[in-house]
Structure 1
Amino acid sequence: MVRLRRRWALGLLLGGVSAAALGTTEPVLGRHRTGTLVRRPGPPVPAENRAPGEPWWPDSGGLAADDRQRQIQGYASATSVAPGESIDFHVAVNSASRFRISIHRLGWYGGAGARTLLTSREFQGSPQPVPPSDPRTGAIACQWPVSWTLRVPGHWTSGLYQAVFQSTDGWRACTPFVVRDDRRAAALCVVLPATTWQAYNQWPMDRRNGKSLYNGYGATGLRNPLLRAREVCFDRPYADEGMPSQFDKDQDAVQWLERSGYDVSYATSLDLHTGRLDPTRHRGIVFCGHDEYWSREMRLAAEAAVAAGTSLAFFGANSIYWHARIRPADDGRPERVVACAKAVADPDADGSGPTTTWRALRTPEQALIGVQYNGVVLTPQPLVVRSADHWVWAGTGVANGDRIPGLVGGEADGLRRGTPQPTGVDAAILSRSPYPAAQGGRRVQNAHVYETPKGAVVFATGTLNWTMALNRPGVQDERIKRATANVLDRMVGRSAGATGQGRPTPPTPA
């Protein structure tokens, strides 16, 4: 029998379980306080995906902007908003011309991948400057005027959205944002890694001005890590056409989750930081992408959630690696700057400690996730199955030693000997995959899962290529889809088929 967490079971006793907890896609019967049976609406995301869709970034019909010419680019005033709130868009057009902004919700939509919700009227665009970087921190913060303010309609469904800027002469760019659902607790909340998106953003990539938390440009026009910024600001476009680093893998996760009919809502890493996202309201939190930069507030919230029985799924790798500080813009607007000095000698260290690796702070990521980053994968490698009789692999047909091609790629995690790991839990290593590391030599990737006495499941794929196997044409793998569904179904209590099949192999360092 599927285990029911206490607060969910209590709902059954008090008059019926919601469609959200069940993960159903149709309305369910509930009982009004008068005793009358009423139909309650099912989860909004499956209903939203029955609407007709169209690609938000079609293969034809526009030219992608770039940072050399900056034909059209823009940024948003917030990373997330709730229905009824407003979000500003700041757009620059390099040769003065008119433009429109269209708003698209990303999802499954029968394979179309998005639905267009509205298109603005035409605006007159004008060039805007690339401001100089802050001489102390390297941050680049634009002060472009507001081009358009969107008040998010109350009926819009929580999701990952894209604002697309298109000029009348055919150039286009975009910027992402999230619409939250602060009123209703979905079974799963998907967290988009906004802090990591900005950390990697080197706008403008013009070989002169751009800076990220990784590189700046030297006199030769080549990237130089010695000239990197130690702060980056959301008040600027994302590089070139506006899609953040690894954004395609975030899209893969979103499409598969919505195609699979899960009851989901959406938030960003900044919502976890501020407390707008309370993980304990949900049965599980899905960190869908490359989620490398975490503030102290984010980590404490995730740890408290697991302690309370909320599950976590890490679909990427190299998560919770850097301790970051989130601060306001110079004019006081909150959550606009991500700071990471990447050194113990942090000139701006505060009560949260220096912005360096979590390992240097003696709180390694493995203590929460179960595994931790151990290298950059030089060339994609097969994931080698271990613990094939574990419930995660149930129904996949795999055997120990089976190789799933190309699944270990980008960056990888592994279980590290001598490093703290969760205690008092039921844990298993799900793969043991050797790979050639860009740092030299060969290392071993591990997917990992553990369950706490409170019923929380913490799952880590240990690779950046996992979500490609969920959704990407030509890369999809039915075994990975089934294993991922087993994990999420166990988190939300949706499927009795997720019960264990045999004892897991005890975790031992690779």
Structure 2
Amino acid sequence: MDPQESNDIHRRRVLKDVASVSLAGAVGAFGRPTQAAEKSANGPIKAPDRNPLIADENAKPGARDWQLTRVRLDKTRGLRSPPIEGYCSKQSVLAGESIDFHVSTTPASRFKIEIFRTGYYAGRGARLMTTLGPFDGHTQPLPDVGEKRIRICDWDPATSFTIPDDWPSGVYLGRLTTESDTSGFGYWQNYVVFIVRDERPADILLQCSDNTWQAYNQWPDGYSVYTHPQGNQGPWADVSFDRPYGKYPQIFENPQTFGSGEWLCFEFPLAYWLEKHGYDVSYCSNSDMLTPDRALKCKAFISNGHDEYWDIRQYESVVKLRDAGVNLLFLSGNSVCWVSPFRSSESGAPNRIIFRGGPYGGEHRWAKLREQEHGPFPHRGPDEGYLMGVRNVEPVNGGGDWVCTNPQHWIFDGTGMKEGEAIPGLIGWEYHGDPPEDIPGLEIVAQGTALQSGVNPQKWASTIYPGPKGNFVFNASTIWWCQDLASPPGHWLPWSHWSRPHGPDERVQQITHNLLKRALS
């Protein structure tokens, strides 16, 4: 969607006094423009002028061939692909720093690594940055089952690669491809995934939800924080980033998830859409948010997709962002649900092991319910509602329509939406609800009912509230928000609980433009 130019948006001055909110700092009155100023004489609000860095990058030729086309499972309904698989030594890396690629091939075979940056690229979705190899691969050992069922690979690196200075921030996929094997079946493929970050001032910082990718990762065969014999919601299992990403085990059977975590299924459509419209976006991992320093250089911080697992330092960092005037957009669901403390690997590499330490929620009833059913936990986080505007609820998974309840709000400018109008299937796979009643200025902009497996109804709500410096916190309250922004190559629409998003919708696109226009102005 390409909205037309609009008049400048004016807003009232923000009240100087801000009200204190427990556990989340101060929030003030939200400066909303007058109704006349909200309406554009020329039509809907458009995206800002294209950022030269993003525009120039996406003007470069995209790759016609970057997806996985030949993946071989270890068994029927398996989770791994032994012919070739690998992992990276870091979740994220700065230009000029090095990263190791650890790869195993079974049987031993030569292979190459093609590194692609994901983005828009005239609709192709990725650009080939370089090709490494060929290398002589060999079979590397499956790790033993360690304490708390952790599986940690100690594989020899195939190569160490220094990120060129001119590579922009983004999410990068290394496509691993073997030469033809001796069985006559031809070549095999898999991905490794890593983030290139930068430290420049940027309009938008997009946080990837890679803690959640790893929490759900069952490589090699049912080893995640959800698969412990004691139950799937306790603090009993550790998981390590020093292992490949297996196939994503829920929602759909998408071979593109091999090695790529949840990036292509739950998060890539947002990045694709932002870069299509030339927004000035930089990328980071969950582990890059243990301090607020990087994000304080940005105007807006976005939580994307399925952002469930946060180290408590991430929470504290994002509270500081809000209180410093950074706009927060939770285009995500089930976010800030579990405290997931980082610790270093056995070799001393920082932030390579996490576990489910305990619930966020403070003394709220949902946190107590989680502890009664699954605890005791060694950690407890504050009430996430006072940061996000809404909370995780029980049941937290299900599906439904996203229903407008406040059409006069400026986020709906240019959409033409009316009260009660629904965007079909946009709520899911998990969502938020139960907004705190004592956040000054909080408004519910959409709400409705989700159904778990067609039954078990639960109320969800999408909210917005003012920060202390004219900024705002918006919560879309669904993992699937980005599914209605774009449908890039390599992406499949998910489904769950007898509901599914329907794909790109101009109303979701316009709402997101409106939020970013306000955040960046």
Query: What is the TM-score of this pair, normalised by structure 1?
Result: 0.79
Aligned to 1:107: 119
The Cα of 1:148 is off from its aligned counterpart by 1.1
Q: Which runs of 5+ in 2 are unaligned?
A: 1-8, 15-46, 181-186, 248-257, 361-370, 489-501
The structure-2 alpha-carbon separation of the partners of 1:99 and 1:59, relative to structure 1 and needing over 3 Å to count, comes to closer
The Cα of 1:399 is off from its aligned counterpart by 0.4
Aligned to 1:393: 412
2-structure distance, mates of 1:455, 1:64? 52
| Corresponding position: 1:180 with 2:197 | yes
1-structure distance, mates of 2:335, 2:377? 11
Q: Which amino acid aligns with 1:51?
A: K
The structure-2 alpha-carbon separation of the partners of 1:247 and 1:339, relative to structure 1 and needing over 3 Å to count, comes to same
Aligned to 2:483: 468
What SS class does the counterpart of residue 335 from structure 2 fall into?
Answer: coil
Aligned to 1:235: 242
| Corresponding position: 1:447 with 2:447 | no
Contact in 1 for aligned 2:87/2:102 (Cα 8 Å): yes
Contact in 2 for aligned 1:56/1:104 (Cα 8 Å): no
The Cα of 1:225 is off from its aligned counterpart by 3.0
Q: Which amino acid aligns with 2:108?
A: A
1-structure distance, mates of 2:157, 2:453? 43
The structure-2 alpha-carbon separation of the partners of 1:200 and 1:229, relative to structure 1 and needing over 3 Å to count, comes to farther
What SS class does the counterpart of residue 445 from structure 1 fall into?
Answer: strand
Write the deviation string for residues 407-460 of structure 1: whole angstroms up to 9, x where unpaired: 1120111124xxx56633x32111112121359621112111112231221111
Write the deviation string for residues 15-74 of structure 1: whole angstroms up to 9, x where unpaired: xxxxxxx9532xxxxxxxxxxxxxxxx5411210111102564364x3355545511100
Aligned to 2:71: 63
The structure-2 alpha-carbon separation of the partners of 1:226 and 1:397, relative to structure 1 and needing over 3 Å to count, comes to closer
What SS class does the counterpart of residue 144 from structure 1 fall into?
Answer: coil
2:297 is aligned, of 281, 284, 294, to 281
| Corresponding position: 1:309 with 2:309 | no
The structure-2 alpha-carbon separation of the partners of 1:5 and 1:197, relative to structure 1 and needing over 3 Å to count, comes to farther
Aligned to 1:267: 284
Q: Which amino acid aligns with 2:270?
A: A
Q: Which amino acid aligns with 1:178?
A: I
Write the deviation string for residues 355-383 of structure 1: whole angstroms up to 9, x where unpaired: 98999836211110001122457763211
The Cα of 1:302 is off from its aligned counterpart by 0.4
Pick which of 246-255 and 192-201 moved more: 246-255
1:432 is aligned, of 422, 432, 447, to 447
Contact in 2 for aligned 1:375/1:411 (Cα 8 Å): no
2:106 is aligned, of 87, 94, 98, to 94
State the identity %. 33
Write the deviation string for residues 477-508 of structure 1: whole angstroms up to 9, x where unpaired: 00000001111111111xxxxxxxxxxxxxxx
Q: Which amino acid aligns with 1:102?
A: E
Aligned to 1:258: 275
Determine which structure has greater relative contact order: mean sequence separation of CA pairs < 8 Å that are 6+ residues apart, divided by chain length.
2
The structure-2 alpha-carbon separation of the partners of 1:305 and 1:343, relative to structure 1 and needing over 3 Å to count, comes to closer
The structure-2 alpha-carbon separation of the partners of 1:211 and 1:392, relative to structure 1 and needing over 3 Å to count, comes to same
Question: Once superposed, what is the RMSD of the aligned Cα atoms?
Answer: 2.9
How many residue pairs end up in the alignment?
Answer: 436
The structure-2 alpha-carbon separation of the partners of 1:226 and 1:164, relative to structure 1 and needing over 3 Å to count, comes to same
Contact in 1 for aligned 2:451/2:458 (Cα 8 Å): yes
1:484 is aligned, of 499, 502, 512, to 512
What SS class does the counterpart of residue 316 from structure 1 fall into?
Answer: strand
Q: Which runs of 5+ in 1 are unaligned?
A: 7-21, 26-41, 345-353, 494-510
| Corresponding position: 1:367 with 2:386 | yes
Aligned to 1:37: none
| Corresponding position: 1:45 with 2:54 | yes
The structure-2 alpha-carbon separation of the partners of 1:318 and 1:226, relative to structure 1 and needing over 3 Å to count, comes to closer
The Cα of 1:343 is off from its aligned counterpart by 7.6
